[in-house]
Chain A
Amino acid sequence: MATVPTSAGVVVIGAGIVGNSLVHHLARLGWRDIVQIDKGALPNPGGSTGHASNFIFPVDHSREITDLTLDSVRQYQEMDVFTQSGGFELARTEERMEELRRRMSSAKAWGIEAELVSPEFVKEKVPFIETDQFIGAFWTPSVGVVDSLRAGTIMRESALATGQLTVVPNVEVVGMDVEGGRIRRVRTDGGDIEAEVVVIAAGVWSPKLGDMAGVSIPLTPAVHQMISVGPCPQLAEQEGEISFPIVRDMDTFCYERQHGADMEVGSYAHRAILHEPEDIPSIEQAKLSPTELPFTSDDFDPQLEQAYELMPELLGAEGAEMRYAINGLLSLTCDGAPILGESHVKGLWTASAVWIKEGPGVGRAVAEWMTHGYSEIDIQHSDIARFHPHQMRREHTRLRTTESFIKTYGIIHPAEQYESDRNQRLAPMHESQKKLGAFFFETGGWERPHWYESNASLLEEYGDRVMPREHEWDARWWSPIINAEHLRMREAAGVVDLTAFAVFDIEGPGALDTVQRTCVAQCDVKVGKVIYTPVLNAAGGFVSDLTVMRLGEDHFRVVTGAAHGMADRKTFSDQLPGDGTTLTDVTDEVSTIGLWGPRARDILSSLTSDDVSDEGFGFLSCREIPLGDVTVLASRISYVGELGWELYVPMRDAAKVWDALLEAGERHGAVPVGIGVYGTTGRVEKGYRAFGFELDAERTIVEAGMQRPKVKAADFVGKEAYLAQREQAPATVLCTMTVDDHTSASGRKRYMLGGEPILTRDGGTLTDGHGRHPYVTTAGSAPSLGKHLLMAYLPPEQAVLGNELAVSYMEELYPVTVASVDATPLLDPQNERIR
């Protein structure tokens, strides 16, 4: 028996696909003294890897997940454990066919070969399928199966070969010691291991381990039912594990996957069956393994019938019996993304909630992140730092995964909102907003009005200028009122609730140093100045963009979006020098209200005695002003391209200020304006980039067209890379395009929603200097221009004003024209409206 070492350079807890991949990549990247432990035996310690169905469909609507999957497939292929089988995703309904067309968009955007095919095409490759059960299919030839246990062994052995890995199976973690906010020690039933770096890669058990260190890893073990039917003579006569393509019966949420002489039928159609990590049986208690729970056949029976309808000859074959059936446990999260990265406990990392198809890719990305501070594949959507406190509750995970489980094979609209566990964070003016008929979207737990039904009367006023959408899908989670609010804001003014903003105060002797090192822009400015700045990683990729206000010599206020606020907080916290400088999250104490439009100054001046003229309150400056009996911090800045202010108001006064602004504004034609304008229409007309859409860690300032003439002298994260990027021609260029004709073959006008591939006019593929294919990062109405705008990174040679290209939407081409090849706005290029 191997013994538990007393110290380690890094401890990896878990020997499933993730832990094994991690030790391999850590060893490859030069880590020393790696210790891997698992409470189970090898090669299958009993976690989710051991019972995985092990097939991989590469196309996902998420670029991040697709890239991790493609990288994983490459690694599986290198290990010679990948068998290509091809795979079909079937449509039984026209609605699903439309979803498959949308899937084609993603396939083209991510550069994966795929094709929409007829039932007869499917039958040719899967002769035992009944073609009358479905109307078409999405064919991905590169689908395949892997041997994930074998892959784990190979990767572990490669790490062992470096001499830097010690593997100790059959040892259980009983505690983790955190001292001074840093992990110090892992305690096991085989002895303690001193270590400054620890990775929890324990799948369904990760929450339990995280709790030992006071870290929430909000995933839930959830049941996925699977049965194995065989031996089927049609399969038994073939050699090897798989000879027929895998079939995903999307509308019944089932799959059929050959495994030797057996056909495995898996289901995501049953009720969400969730478990607590503490209730998972031990290895000894479990009949099969801790993550293969007793099958509950009642839950599966409806799927059995549907599977039988599809393949009666095979599943009803003489001698084919249900010999293996499990309720297999896998990990689900509240937003469907993995949980990766360093926790708030320094040195304690996690790589959890990862499926077989992403395993090796995640292992590589996290190992790179641990080594360099960034990874080649941007994994920001999976960052553990993303979670807000309300999302770290088990209840939240339970409710959200219950809601989303049935959507595993669902048709999910890109703007779709969750229904469960809402109303976690309410703005002070929430009641007023409800009276105004606000339609709420959620971000970071906050309920934010996306538009106000109270503005419906404007529709008549603006007529066709609100660009109504004819197709239900295009108009889902959308309203023409958004565009009406937009027009009224540009005409008069809008009042926008921005309470959801994450706001941090950085104070102390090292405050300037902290923001200077974090931000690209010069932050050593006069007190009272407002700075807009990108934030980079060491490779010069975006990790955020945000605004900073200098409120005092040693006091800066950082304002950023709610969705990415928690990650930004960690980014700044990581730069605190440890000299007593503090970061205080004042998000819950400060409400933000935006006031923008040509009449904004009139409205504000009617409420304050202060001088808010351009001379008295210049652009990009901030100061406290009285607003009646309330003092607010006003900041003259705009994300919608209009004159106006962001007003930072104490929470207790925010409802009063909101009402006062609406009341004072009414006389000037101002209306409440939702995030539909603030987040999309207002900004696309101005060409403003948004983090998470145009900006991510795989994009640079130069590619995004956001470089300034000078780079500040002070050092900052990513400076070296940024300086180098400035010396080179960009490999890709962010452009804005107009859609020239929306008419589809059916005669109905269609409006793209984002994610669609940009092609040549005749449908030819474009490829940029990174080898990527252009896709729409943001799509949105530009009501003031009467155009639908698309933003996308184009190959430099295509980034030419007037260049005629096409966008593919639901498998039809629509003509587009390049209208901007840098940050120059299509509306008000001289930014006169802001003054």
Chain B
Amino acid sequence: MSLDVLVCVKRVVDSSGEVVLSDDEQAVDGRYAGFTVSNHEECAIELAVQTAAAVGGAASVVTLGDPAAVEQLRSALAVGCTAATHVEADPTVFGPADVAREIAAVVRDHEAAGRPHDLVLLGNDAADSGDFQVGIRLAYELGRPVINGAATIAVEDGAVVAGVSGPDGHETYRVPLPAVVTVLEGGVEPRYPTVPGRMKAKKVEIERRTPVSEPSGPKRRRLKLPPPQPSEVQILGEGPEAAPAVVDLFERLGVVSR
């Protein structure tokens, strides 16, 4: 049976600019910046697509989000995922445990329908709520082992081999499938959509479903903005006279040997 890698994504505000909060202080307002998925999830999608290609399987994508989150599903479809599931719900009232439970339900239902996801990939953490736990909670929901923070993965002999950058250097994990892996950005370069890819994505029918249980909530009281931090450029000098100061800087940064 061929492998159907499931990758989980979350629609988040693209927060590269100045962040604006929603009026109820429960979410980041995306009206100026637009929406995206986190860098980790982009890498997870890339790894899912690469893995599927390597083993002759498929990559599927799932999200829990409001109706607009279909945009992120289409983006994933445009870069090589071939099926998508949309759990339609207000993501701001779902805590990490709630989300893990909903994804687990999707995995179980797909499995019951003859479409098991022996490998589930998630981002290391969501770009907005930064909870660092959905993947691990999902693993417990599914009773599977989990590798956290993988930069690279490969599937071989019924196992997933993951490379993680740890305190001791490059660490390797090897875990039998089925398994859950959370992905940290940096190991792969996520591709952009191609024109044919985008056109194909448009034609995929997205599985729509509602949550299986009431969320217990994220325990969030409110969001607030930290006081602004002025970043001052340090002028090293004017003209060629600044050269020694520049090379001093190079030495401090360790980019030239002393």
Contacts and interface: CB of A to CB of B under 8 A. Distances in A.
A binds B: yes
Interface of A: 229, 279, 281-282, 284-287, 293-295, 297-298, 301, 304-305, 307-308, 315-316, 320-323
B18 interface: yes
A321 B191 CA distance: 8
Contacts of A305: 199
A599 B195 CA distance: 71
Nearest to B32: A281
Q: Which of A295, A297, A301, A320 has the most CB of B within 10 A?
A: A297
B215 interface: no
A304 B16 CA distance: 27
Given A287-B34, A301-B202, A307 B195 contact: yes
Contact of A321 (B16, B34, B75, B193): B193
B200 to A, nearest CB: 11
B33 A301 contact: no
Contacts of B196: 308, 316
Contact of B195 (A279, A281, A304): A304
Nearest to A314: B195
A287 B31 CA distance: 11
Contacts of A293: 32, 34
Contact of B192 (A279, A286, A316, A323): A323
Contact of B17 (A287, A315, A321, A322): A287
Main SS of chain B's interface residues? loop
A321 B192 contact: yes
Q: Top 10 A-B pairs ranked by shortest CB distance?
A: A294-B34, A281-B32, A321-B192, A284-B18, A315-B195, A285-B32, A287-B33, A285-B18, A323-B192, A287-B17
Interface string B24-45: 0000001111110000000000
Interface string B64-87: 000000010011000000000000
A315 B195 CA distance: 6
10 contacts: A281-B32, A285-B32, A287-B14, A294-B14, A294-B33, A298-B71, A301-B198, A315-B195, A320-B194, A321-B193
B177 interface: no
A315 B199 CA distance: 12
Nearest to A282: B18
Nearest to B35: A294
Interface string B4-20: 00000000001011101
Nearest to A230: B192
B33 A285 contact: yes
Contacts of B199: 301, 304-305, 308
A322 B190 CA distance: 12
Given A285-B17, A287-B14, A322 B198 contact: yes
B12 to A, nearest CB: 13
Contacts of B32: 281, 285-287, 293-294
A488 B14 CA distance: 69
B74 A286 contact: no
Contacts of B31: 279, 281
Contact of A322 (B14, B74, B194, B202): B194
B71 A297 contact: yes
A122 to B, nearest CB: 20
Contacts of B75: 297
Nearest to A284: B18
A321 B198 CA distance: 10
Contacts of A279: 31
A266 to B, nearest CB: 14
A345 B30 CA distance: 38
Contacts of B198: 297, 301, 304, 322
Interface string B133-153: 000000000000000000000
A305 B196 CA distance: 8
Contacts of B33: 281, 285-287, 294
Q: Which of B35, B71, B75 has the most CB of A within 10 A?
A: B71
Contacts of B17: 281, 284-287
A760 to B, nearest CB: 49
Contacts of B195: 229, 304, 307-308, 315-316, 320, 322
Contact of B34 (A295, A298, A304, A316): A295
B35 to A, nearest CB: 7
Nearest to B33: A287
A767 B75 CA distance: 57
B74 A297 contact: yes
Contacts of B202: 301
Given A285-B18, A285-B33, 9 more contacts: A285-B20, A294-B14, A295-B34, A297-B75, A301-B198, A307-B195, A320-B194, A322-B194, A322-B195
A308 B192 CA distance: 17
A317 to B, nearest CB: 9
A298 to B, nearest CB: 7
A757 to B, nearest CB: 41
Nearest to B79: A321
Q: Which of A282, A294, A305 has the most CB of B within 10 A?
A: A294
